[in-house]
Amino acid sequence: MEIESSSQPSLHLPEEIIGEILPRLPVKSLLRFRCVSKSWRSLIGSKRFIKTHHQNSMQNPSFPQQRVITQKNSDEWPMQCSLLSILSGPTNTIPLSPLADPTNTTVTGYEIIGCCNGLLCIVNDENIFQLWNPSTRISKKLTEISNADIIYHLGFGWDESIDEYMVFVIVDDYNSSLGKVYSSKTKSWKTIELCDDLDCCWPRDVFVGGKLYLKNGFEKVIIFWDLKSEVFGRIELPFDQEVYGIVGVLGGFLCVLCFNDEIRGYRVWVMKESWEKVVTLSHLLELLQPPLVKGLNGDILVNCGSILGVYDCRDNVFRDLSYCPCYQVTRISCHEDCVGLFSHDVYVESLVSPEDL
């Protein structure tokens, strides 16, 4: 006897349930789900959805949507790996993969200036700037900068109050230093007056809360550029017995990594309502930048010389990940001259599109 087939009823989820589920999914899944229907495509592409998805990704304490980028120098294409894979286990093997290429040519000569809201700002040897989302593989070239013979200071930030992205550079135009700022609102560069304290600043800035912070060499001063008021300011560092500091971002707050000769190690200070010492790192004498991330259990991800590792703050133990960003399998097989040449950044996967800026 032939059994008559009956069609299964289709499953329809209420709009409010869909609105709760989708913003918690990875970018890769959401890009595929745009093909489900016109309504889903419209929802996933809306500014409100993109903002909610980004906030969820940033607030997730296990960092499932965050990636670590490592680059030896501008002649090497950046590599990436999952932050969760680094912090979640004792494994000494990190699965590295090439970062998506915005030019589709795997060209060299690109430097990553900074990361913000899932966007990377990059510049090549010809001083061509791009905003690039490696998760969606969408990029956008910025208006070319004029009167730039040599660019030797770079920063990338975002002013949340007006939803404006800015690129900050100092250029050497035939032995004359000029400040240049690109605005995503005006889509153009403008020249600004520099303050005298910028002469010996470190070459990379960090962005926190509407300001770009610059460490003033070996002095106990941090210079900042306020994106909204477009003025420079100064913060005096009150630390005693600290030799120097390098600025960074830890947990969404401005931080400073200071070397302390007395303990032969480092201290990390975070600026909240006031400066707070959050961790002391003993016996790490080659830190090139402040900690990148602090995990739930207090472990922090640090760049020690050419080695990316996790420092256990409870037992003062450094877990060498036995990985070198020169793309070889182990640190032992790495060339000795690679030490100190690496930069590391952390970005969160997002749907923010450079084309909308």
pLDDT in tens, 139-192: 999 998 876 667 777 788 888 888 899 998 888 766 677 888 999 999 999 988
Determine which of 22-26, 120-124, 184-188, 314-318 has the lowest per-residue pLDDT on average.
314-318
Strands (E) across 313-356 are located at 317-320, 343-348
For 72-88, b/e burial (b = at least 16 CB within 10 A) is: bebebebbbbbbbebbe
Is 24 among the domain residues?
A: yes
Q: What is the mean pLDDT of the chain?
A: 77
Mean pLDDT of 25-46: 93
In DSSP terms, which residues pair with 258 in a beta bridge?
Answer: 245, 267
Among all chains, which residue has been given the structure tokens 């912070």?
213
Distance, in Å, from the CA atom of 339 to the CA atom of 306, rounded to the nearest integer, reads: 5
Q: Which residues contact 334 (CB under 8 A, 6 or more apart)?
A: 306, 324, 326, 328
At 119 the three-state DSSP class reads strand
- H/E stretch holding 311 reads strand 307-312
Distance, in Å, from the CA atom of 239 to the CA atom of 220, rounded to the nearest integer, reads: 8
Is 32 among the domain residues?
A: yes
The residue type found at 302 is V
pLDDT at res. 340: 39
Which range in 52-56, 74-78, 221-225 is most confidently predicted, on average pLDDT?
52-56
What predicted TM-score, i.e. pTM, was given to this entire model?
0.81
Give 59-102 pLDDT, tens digit per residue.
887 788 888 887 766 666 777 888 877 777 555 556 677 777 66
Distance, in Å, from the CA atom of 60 to the CA atom of 153, rounded to the nearest integer, reads: 33
Is 98 among the domain residues?
A: no
- Give the pLDDT band (50/70/90) at residue 341: very low
pLDDT at res. 333: 31
Q: Which residue has the higher pLDDT, 28 or 222?
A: 28
DSSP type of residue 78: -
Is 69 among the domain residues?
A: no
Task: Tally Cβ neighbours within 10 Å of residue 69.
Answer: 19
Distance, in Å, from the CA atom of 167 to the CA atom of 212, rounded to the nearest integer, reads: 10
Domain that holds residue 19: 15-44
Is 20 among the domain residues?
A: yes
Is 26 among the domain residues?
A: yes
Is 308 among the domain residues?
A: no
- Give the pLDDT band (50/70/90) at residue 108: low
Quote the number of domains for the chain: 1
Is 270 among the domain residues?
A: no
Q: Which residue has the higher pLDDT, 20 or 263?
A: 20
Give 286-335 pLDDT, tens digit per residue.
776 788 888 777 788 887 766 677 787 777 777 766 544 433 333 333 33
Among all chains, which residue has been given the structure tokens 């004498």?
285
